Chains A and B, each alone.
Chain A
């Protein structure tokens, strides 16, 4: 019923199918990268050539494409003779898990606060906006260091801290969009037939924000991947038995002058993932509702 009303509304958003928005050259390449990385994360040990924890001390620092007793090492081996390609594949799972979990938590907080601020207005709006500004003004890298050094570095603490990096972006965007739509005919219609505020927000506003939220989800996931990599890089994030790309970059740092491959390949994959997410997000916005 609401749909019929939206058609007349000048500010309809997220109405066309998402596929029509990504039409155009180039987007399939990014999707392919993400599918590959996703396959790494899901299949993990099934597609990795060797066990990523297996150490062969005699075969340390084999160059990329060099063969050892186990066979070909496409990305070479590290200081303990572990296969770098297998490590990169193993790192995908935890990297993506942390990034997606933290992004979803942050997006939920941001969407909820943003919708409340935009829809209710008044003091709620002012409080949420000040909180958003304060959060944005926090030097989050150092704050995360402070928290992680006190709480102890762990995957769950990372997932608890990383959402604070991104929720303000969601809150600000959703607040603006909600403000624009608050007086739209379909919202007024919903209120008139007696919908509760909760229903208006969840059933009528949220679906109309979906495309914007989708774009921001992609960008934010990339941001979280980079933040997690940074924290793991300095040793405050993920710890040794676990593997993420950030931790792998950090591990190769000591031996950078001896061997570049244990550092370069994990960073390359982290960057490619974020690049694909950003590229896809840009494709969405450029051909989207604007």
Chain B
């Protein structure tokens, strides 16, 4: 039945040169397509940030003291270049982006360029996201697989319950409870952020509860879907033991899917959760800087933070997409 639908074998050219297999070329094209789409999305995101800023972000009003006259407000506005046409501002924004210049901080650090302020905090935030990712994988992926291959088991039911709780309860609230119980009551770890490894423990676990819960749900259903596939039946019917089926067949088949899911969750962290966790734990990263800047109407710093986070989200998604297109031979050109 299947024999008639098999693709023709790559033919050897008369001069003996073996042409590049069609499938490989197709995968390369797919990866390139996704790269292109990702760059379009990045451009859209950066443009949206500019437009939002241009529409609502008139810092002149909020920067001026309440008793300032209209002329004084206008002077601040023209100093900031906000009285010029939108197209001119857009041009300056894009050329600034390329040069890494996103305006100056107006309140938090007077007249210092905004982008370096954010980039300075970047390593701290990156380390926190990596800690969060480790805990997410630990709490989400491993139990997710165990629950998925044994649906209805105790691990599955308890895990599903905990995972739903993990995604449902406010994660910053979990963070507060962890601070209270583990750091204040039991005094096991310090909550003062530092270079100590234990400082990563509570914020990392808090991120892990939320993102691990989502990963658990995704991984569980991905594993569950594999159980019905005929290769599992074949493997079982040829007498392969249970663990061999799981380790040698199922894991191999969902490997790329798992990596994709983990990558998506990492992007989601940059979409917001890590910044809220930074605020909760007074972590000296971008989130803390930007929330402070937002409270004091320091527009350019907030904007620089949004741009940096946006780039991380897009790049993380892009890396996942391009890699899964390059690795997984089953991904089709769509």
Q: For A282, what are the chain B residues with a Cβ–Cβ distance below 8 Å?
A: 164
- A140-B271, A249-B176, A270-B170 given; A149·B306 CB < 8 A: no
Q: Which positions 257-277 of chain B face chain A at CB distance < 8 Å? A: 267, 270-273, 275-276
Residue of A nearest to B62 (CB): A150
- In contact, B173 and A271 (Cβ under 8 angstroms): yes
User: Which A positions have Cβ atoms within 8 angstroms of B?
Assistant: 130-131, 133-134, 137-143, 145-151, 222, 226, 229-230, 233-236, 246, 249, 253, 256-257, 260, 263-264, 267-268, 270-272, 274-275, 277-279, 282
Q: For A141, what are the chain B residues with a Cβ–Cβ distance below 8 Å?
A: 271-273, 275-276
- In contact, A271 and B168 (Cβ under 8 angstroms): yes
Q: For B57, what are the chain A residues with a Cβ–Cβ distance below 8 Å?
A: 146, 150
Residue of B nearest to A267 (CB): B173
- In contact, A146 and B45 (Cβ under 8 angstroms): no
Q: For B250, what are the chain A residues with a Cβ–Cβ distance below 8 Å?
A: none
Distance in angstroms from B29 CB to nearest chain A CB is 17
Is B37 engaged at the interface, CB distance under 8 Å to the other chain?
yes
Q: Which listed residue, B168, B173, B184, B272, touches A249 by the CB 8 Å rule? A: B173
Is B290 engaged at the interface, CB distance under 8 Å to the other chain?
yes
Q: Which listed residue, B52, B169, B294, B313, touches A274 by the CB 8 Å rule? A: B169
Kindly supply a per-residue 1/0 record for chain B positions 234-278, scoring 1 wherever the CB is within 8 Å of any chain A CB and 0 otherwise: 000000000000000000000000000000000100111101100
- In contact, B305 and A137 (Cβ under 8 angstroms): no
Q: Which positions 65-112 of chain B face chain A at CB distance < 8 Å? A: none
Q: Which listed residue, B48, B169, B291, B313, touches A145 by the CB 8 Å rule? A: B291
Is B327 engaged at the interface, CB distance under 8 Å to the other chain?
no
Kindly supply a per-residue 1/0 record for chain B positions 166-204, scoring 1 wherever the CB is within 8 Å of any chain A CB and 0 otherwise: 011111110011011000100000000000000000000
Distance in angstroms from A258 CB to nearest chain B CB is 10
User: Which B positions have Cβ atoms within 8 angstroms of A?
Assistant: 37, 40-42, 44-45, 48-49, 52-53, 56-59, 62, 164-165, 167-173, 176-177, 179-180, 184, 267, 270-273, 275-276, 279, 290-291, 294-295, 297, 299, 302-303, 305-306, 309-310, 312-314, 317
- In contact, B309 and A139 (Cβ under 8 angstroms): yes
- 19 residue pairs from A and B, CB less than 8 Å apart: A133-B41, A134-B41, A137-B45, A138-B45, A138-B48, A139-B272, A146-B49, A149-B294, A149-B302, A150-B299, A230-B170, A233-B279, A234-B276, A253-B176, A270-B170, A270-B173, A271-B173, A275-B164, A275-B169
Q: How far apart sit A270 and B309, CA to CA, in the bound complex (Å)?
A: 27
- In contact, B173 and A139 (Cβ under 8 angstroms): no
- In contact, A139 and B299 (Cβ under 8 angstroms): no
- In contact, A138 and B294 (Cβ under 8 angstroms): no
- In contact, A271 and B169 (Cβ under 8 angstroms): yes
- In contact, A134 and B167 (Cβ under 8 angstroms): no
Distance in angstroms from B148 CB to nearest chain A CB is 14
The interface centre, meaning the residue of A130, A139, A147, A222 with most chain B CB atoms within 10 A of its CB, is: A139
- In contact, B270 and A139 (Cβ under 8 angstroms): yes
- In contact, A139 and B294 (Cβ under 8 angstroms): no
Q: For A270, what are the chain B residues with a Cβ–Cβ distance below 8 Å?
A: 169-170, 173
Distance in angstroms from A84 CB to nearest chain B CB is 15
Q: A137-B314, A139-B275, A141-B275 are in contact. List 13 more A-B contacts (CB 8 A).
A: A130-B40, A130-B44, A133-B37, A137-B310, A138-B271, A142-B309, A146-B302, A229-B172, A249-B170, A249-B173, A257-B184, A275-B164, A275-B168
